[in-house]
Chain A
Amino acid sequence: MSKRVLVVEDQEDNRQILRDLLASVGYEMIEAHDGEGALAVARAQSPDLILMDIQLPILDGYEATRRIKAQSDLRHIPIIVVTSYALGGDEEKARAAGCDAYVAKPYSARKLLETINRYLT
């Protein structure tokens, strides 16, 4: 059974990049478009890994991460936070929210895959 990755991302173009990338290595991708959606989908489908963008409508990535990590049945799912280039503080904030890894945009596709694979194998 193929691994399932939940991609939380509000930009369709970025989702398409990840869709193509993940498909190329045979992972299944499920999607959420905002922080609240991420919580709902994570609970309903219990993915193997979550790729979380930070700038999201309704509930931002930090808060969504914090809430997922606060639930005992979801806590085990590794979360990789993806931020835009930022001026300090973002990495600390992401770690404080409880994420497992941190990737800054622009990420190289190969590097991102490496990171994902570290949690899925």
Chain B
Amino acid sequence: MNLEADSTSFLGLRPLPARSRGSGDGASTKNGFLGFELRPSLRTKLLMAFLAIEMLLVSVGVIGLLSLREADQRANQVVGLQQKIEAYRQMQHNTLRQLYGVSTALAFPNETTLAVVLRQINQFGYDLDRVSFVAKDEVALLNQVREEYARFIAVVSHIVDLIRGGRAAEAKQSEFAELGPLADKLERLTNQLVNRAEADMVAGIDASRQTYVKSQILVAAVALVSFVLTLVLGHAISRSVIDPVRIIHDGLNRIAAGDFAQRIEVPNRDELGELAAHVNSTCDELQQLYRSLEEASRHKSQFLANMSHELRTPLNAVLGFSELLLDGIYGDPPEKMRSALERIQRNGRHLLGLINDVLDLSKIEAGQLRLSLADYSVEELVNVVHTSVEPLAADKNLSLRIAVPAGLPPARGDERRLAQALFNLVGNAIKFTDRGEVRIEVEAGVDSYVFSVQDTGPGIDEADQARIFQEFQQVDNSITKAKGGAGLGLAIVKRIVEMHGGQIWIESRLGHGARFSFLVPARLEQQATQT
């Protein structure tokens, strides 16, 4: 029961429904119509912003149209005033012509000149109609004008009658005494009208100029306001979209870097808020998954460590007893038995080496191998390796040479591990070389050392050179098969060198020996992170 509950939460199956249930219950009451105001979706936000900008555009348009209409009205007004002035002038003109006509008729009293005068009277009627049409607003003055005109026409008619009756002197008298002053009065009146219209026109033009300036300012102001508003809106939108996107982006980067403990905090309550919440829950699941993987890997390397201990215990007993037998503690063994015991020893030690290599590699893989960093002497390190491989080289009649610069300053690293690496390389060189020599060289760089092991063995084909650094990879030929080994040595060397932040490489041609080199920093203060 207990175990079952554990395993479901382990897989991350349990927290999910629990979480979604919880949020559903809590939020359902808030998700009423108020919820819409409290948590506008991204779409709503964008829509609102575009609507606001649209409204600004429309308002600029409306204001423009209104100003246009006002300008149109002003223009119409000015045209009307012009018509007025023209009509007034026509009236004055016709009054003059009448005076002239009357004078002519008096000088040459005949039907032709009289007809001109009479036609002119008709013209007056027409002028009056026109004026009273275009200047409906000038009621008081127009009435006066109309009255004066009526009188003027009456006097003209009277004069025509007098001329027809041959009373030329009376007619002249009437022209002089009545018509002249009436014409003057009419001219004064119409001048008054003209002045007024002209004043109106000036005022109108003035007003329309003002209107133009005003609407210019208004449009500019509205444009400015909408510009500022658009900026503010754009800023607000980008803040509520771009900022959370960046936060989520950064969060994902941290997750990618393996930080599962972090939370992505986004103030948004829209789709981006949901996305952040989703990323957070995914991160939780990843964290659980990661933990379970870590645990599995810990179990694996614990298992390997235990198993290799269990394997080693009986093996050590086998090695121990066979050594005692060889040493003659139980009595001197006969020669045949001695050779069999030596084989037991050799195979047993080989098996132990393989077990140790597997253990090493599995610990490195599980990230459990920590370098123990300390100062060491490069010369001493090489000497230690030299001492331990000397018998092997001597067995095969190989000459073993060392070239280490004298007086190197103390280096810093994991001496035991570096010795293990060098030992593996020298061991390989001796193992695969049947005649000639093996050289161990050290070169000091600016702040690094290069350890090299050169041999006169079979060499390695270019195609195999990259492969042999991988675990369980060996060159597939009869030489390798004859020498034995599991193909773990170089893989371990490579890991050790990489943990020191260094690198390893090989220079070799088939049939011309091999040179393995690795570079490590002279003074390593902190273990390099594994890749």
Contact = CB atoms under 8 A, between A and B. Distances in A.
Interface in A38-77: 55
Nearest to A13: B317
Interface string A86-121: 011100100000000000011011100000000000
B153 to A, nearest CB: 137
A2 interface: no
25 contacts: A11-B313, A11-B317, A13-B314, A13-B317, A14-B313, A14-B316, A17-B321, A20-B329, A20-B330, A21-B329, A84-B309, A85-B312, A87-B359, A87-B368, A87-B369, A88-B369, A88-B370, A88-B414, A88-B416, A89-B372, A92-B372, A106-B349, A106-B352, A109-B324, A109-B329
Of the candidates A13, A14, A55, A88, the one having the most CB atoms from chain B within 10 angstroms of its own CB is A88
A105 B349 CA distance: 11
A52 B368 CA distance: 26
Contact of A85 (B330, B352, B416): B352
Given A88-B417, A109-B324, A55 B316 contact: no
Contacts of B437: none
A112 to B, nearest CB: 10
B327 interface: yes
Given A20-B329, A21-B329, A92-B372, A84 B323 contact: no
Given A11-B317, A84-B313, A87-B360, 12 more contacts: A14-B316, A20-B324, A84-B309, A84-B312, A85-B312, A85-B352, A88-B369, A88-B416, A89-B370, A105-B312, A105-B316, A109-B320
A53 to B, nearest CB: 10
A92 B415 CA distance: 14
A4 to B, nearest CB: 19
B312 A14 contact: no
A55 B369 CA distance: 20
A24 B368 CA distance: 42
B105 interface: no
A85 B320 CA distance: 15
B94 interface: no
Given A11-B317, A88-B369, A109 B363 contact: no
B264 interface: no
Interface residues of A, number: 20
Interface of B is mostly: helix
Contact of B320 (A14, A55, A84, A92): A14
A8 to B, nearest CB: 15
B384 to A, nearest CB: 14
A105 B369 CA distance: 20
B324 A55 contact: no
Nearest to B309: A84
Contacts of B417: 88
Of the candidates B312, B315, B316, the one having the most CB atoms from chain A within 10 angstroms of its own CB is B316
Interface magnitude class on chain B: 20 to 34
B327 A110 contact: yes
A110 B329 CA distance: 11
Contacts of A109: 320, 323-324, 327, 329
Contacts of A92: 372
Interface of B: 309, 312-317, 319-321, 323-324, 327, 329-330, 349, 352, 356, 359-360, 363, 368-370, 372, 414, 416-417
Contacts of B372: 88-89, 92
B317 A24 contact: no
A6 B370 CA distance: 34
A24 B414 CA distance: 40
Interface string A4-40: 0000000101101100110010000000000000000
B407 to A, nearest CB: 29
B454 to A, nearest CB: 29
A11 B317 CA distance: 9
Nearest to B414: A88
B347 to A, nearest CB: 13
A110 B345 CA distance: 15
A17 B318 CA distance: 10
Of the candidates A17, A92, A106, A109, the one having the most CB atoms from chain B within 10 angstroms of its own CB is A106
B323 A108 contact: yes
A47 to B, nearest CB: 21
A100 B313 CA distance: 24
A20 B329 CA distance: 7
Nearest to B305: A87
Contacts of A87: 359-360, 363, 368-369
Contacts of A21: 324, 329
A93 B316 CA distance: 22
A24 to B, nearest CB: 5
A21 B327 CA distance: 10
Contacts of B414: 88
Nearest to B352: A106
A84 B359 CA distance: 12
Contacts of B312: 84-85, 105
Contacts of B329: 20-21, 24, 109
A88 B417 CA distance: 9
